[in-house]
Structure 1
């Protein structure tokens, strides 16, 4: 398999031996002066759902923020049906929807950063990330979207327009972004996510960080790796599947108790009322999502954002870690990487 040389780097991934419940009050994440934050998002809106408060605090502490949105989110079938008014949307409808979602990310970034968030819109097809990782690694075998019909990035506003949708090119791009940004904090999806693009980008991130630190050693301290969670099981977070958006802004967003700790630690960012309000305003820019899953988006507008803290040097015993990851995922459900809402 073309991917086999790279499976060894999944390790950075996980150390997935599950542990029991964690303390109710998580430690506070320390944000220093002049931090360089890189937020990696699989779909438009994930950057705001996961880290809108963190973005604000880094900027307020004199730091810089770069946000990279990998896919256009163009394959959310129910939302495309609603947006187009068609029971059987065409490829053009999916493309039009993807353009709208990319523009929504642009507007949300403006809300959060007032021009000070460096935004990358890569424009890959929704559903392509995990596929590129395991089945379409090389440029001569790119992933073709069953919704848009393209095997390359088709979007006019995407920086990667014309790029093949393959794993090696995506990995190279992430390494280049790391090299250019030299982040002190990286926020990215937890590999335990119940969504294929989220879990896949978590693995790609760890793979890219591993290569970056090997090829371009950085001064100590090495970057903080913050794994965020968007999709989980059992209706987490509360209110995300209630059908009607609720106001949760006075309640913290704790990570679920059945999320394996894997030998890592956790930390949270406490948001001020003003920061919570700006997060809500940023998420309001995702009108295509608010129409169909406003309850889900509102469930993340809370008084905190929490992360699992990984270590950049957790890069040993790669094959063992990959085996552990598969074992733990299998314990949760029979189809651990099924596509969900986004």
Structure 2
């Protein structure tokens, strides 16, 4: 009996000594033969950088797989110049680069064991995703690509050739893919990624999944992050090093999931990355930086706003992801970092957004916020998509591309604090909101928070 008790005590001691290992096990990523895995990549190569290990593990379990590239990555001018060894501004040349990148992805994915029929290319504009998501809905001229200068899907191999560059086209394609494939797991770019195509693809996915509620079983969504200032370090191929969450995202409530890779899987990821010659030419070390001993996936928790009782305001404070666009190494710590701390609440039929800045609002400093509502009873293309800017000159409001003269948005300022009060009716009486905030300092880089999902409790 003493021996049994001693063994039990020893086991308890072992467990207490390794809490991190136990926690890591909770955040692992596992696949079964019944999984249907969808990889959403903003650009050709993101599927490999962010999820090549996941693809390998899913294939080993005989899970079904689909890889979808949202753009063909046709507007990377620097990569074009280095790879082609010439400068061009002809739109046909940029479409040519998009075709080069598509073929690289096909070869890379086939090398892993996927079939060409497992790959889908949507062909939407590189750099254009945030503009389309926030502005191009309804009866409006299509978005025009920055370098390609085309306003419709111009790749014959795309899912919907000729589809106009508007939000309805994108949403229709993503919904059809999900409805047909019925994924159990979706890997997608992160809402805190510096690259705005990456962040906005996440938003399109969120809306598509909301639209399909009740038509499919809810899949597990696993965002991967790629672009963060000075992360990961050191650059280059270091298979012995594990990916850890960026410092700026380490304390934001994200539940991180780690997929451990074997030595063979890491080497395969490195070899697969080598297929993207057009991108490796301009930055030989960068893409290989992600061939490490694990892959990381994780999402922000949903914010849930309660209207409260008896006029009580229940604020939900955000742990803001600071400096999406700026490198802290080139700032004096937080001296010039003025990204606001933000809190949200709902009260009296209004959404409240409270910004706590590190400097007072003045003529050279303003804040702005995107408030994009979702209502299950209203087509998303008809919902308001507000952009509100507040500065010392007052309020400036835009719904999609249309400036609005609005008198019922209130603004309160006190010292370094600014509060916006926006009627829910102006947002289309949403039950969910997608939101992102910015600061607009004079002579300083633009600071921007990650996109967050807000649910309004009824």
Same fold (TM over 0.5): yes
Matches within 5 A, 1:213-292: 213-214=213-214, 216-218=215-217, 222-233=218-229, 235-240=230-235, 246-259=236-249, 262-292=252-282
Greater RCO, 1 or 2 (C-alpha within 8 Å, sep 6+):
1
- Measured in 2, the distance between the counterparts of 1:149 and 1:256 equals 36
Check 1:172–1:262 CA distance in 2 against 1; reply closer, same or farther (3 A cut): farther
8 Å CA contact 2:95, 2:148 repeated in 1 = yes
Whole-angstrom distance in 2 between the partners of 1:173 and 1:209: 12
Question: Match for residue 33 of structure 1?
Answer: 33
TM-score w.r.t. length of structure 1: 0.80
> Between Structure 1 and Structure 2, which shows a larger proportion of strand residues?
2
Task: Name the residue aligned to 2:207.
Answer: 207
Q: Separation in 2 of the partners of 1:258 and 1:310?
A: 13
Which residue in the other structure is 2:194 paired with?
Answer: 194
**Residues 140-194 of structure 1 deviation map (CA, whole Å, 9 limit, x = unaligned):** 4211013111100111222222111111110111111111111111110111110
Q: CA deviation at 1:113?
A: 2.3
The structure that is helix-richer by fraction is: 1
SS of residue paired to 2:248: coil
Cα distance per residue 1:99-123 (max 9 Å; x no partner): 1011111111101224287110111
Paired residues, what number? 303
Distance across 2 between alignment mates of 1:74 and 1:154: 11
Structure 2 unmatched ranges of 5 or more: 1-19, 306-343, 345-350, 354-369, 372-433, 450-458
Cα distance in 2 for residues equivalent to 1:320 and 1:277: 50
Larger mean Cα displacement after TM superposition, 257-266 or 40-49: 257-266
Query: Shift in Å at residue 258 of structure 1?
Result: 1.3
- List per-residue Cα deviations over 1:53-84 (Å, max 9, x = no partner): 00110111121111100101011111122233
CA gap 1:144/1:116 in 2 versus in 1, 3 angstroms: closer
Query: Would the alpha carbon gap of residues 117 and 54 (structure 1) be closer, same or farther in structure 2, given more than 3 Å must change?
Result: farther
- Measured in 2, the distance between the counterparts of 1:266 and 1:52 equals 18
CA–CA separation in structure 2 for the residues paired with 1:61 and 1:230: 26
Change (3 A) 1:305 1:266: same
Give the alignment's Cα RMSD to 1 decimal: 2.8
1:137–1:294 CA distance, 2 compared to 1 (3 A): farther
Q: Is 1:296–2:306 an aligned residue pair?
A: no
How far apart, CA to CA, are the structure 2 residues paired with 1:336 and 1:160? 33
Aligned residue for 2:157, secondary structure, equals coil
User: Relative to structure 2, which stretch is displaced further, 25-34 or 292-301?
Assistant: 25-34
Q: Matched residues in 1 for 2:113 and 2:187: separation?
A: 17
Higher alpha-carbon deviation: 26-35 or 103-112: 26-35
CA distance in 2, matches of 1:48, 1:211: 28
Secondary structure, counterpart of 2:67 in structure 1: strand
TM-score (norm 2): 0.61
Largest Rg, 1 or 2: 2
**Cα 1:306/1:162, change in 2 over 3 Å:** same
Cα distance in 1 for residues equivalent to 2:166 and 2:146: 15
Q: Which structure 2 residues correspond to residues 1-342 of structure 1 after superposition, within 5 A?
A: 26=24, 27-115=27-115, 118-138=118-138, 140-214=140-214, 216-218=215-217, 222-233=218-229, 235-240=230-235, 246-259=236-249, 262-309=252-299, 314=302, 317=305, 325-327=435-437, 334-336=446-448
Runs of at least 5 residues in structure 1 that lack an aligned partner in the other structure? 1-22, 241-245, 338-342
**Inter-partner Cα distance in structure 1 for 2:82 and 2:111:** 26
Separation in structure 1 between the aligned mates of residue 277 and residue 84 of structure 2, nearest angstrom: 14
In 1: Cα distance, 2:31 partner to 2:439 partner: 32
- The CA distance in 1 between the partners of 2:117 and 2:255, in whole Å, is 28
Give the CA deviation at 1:135. 1.6
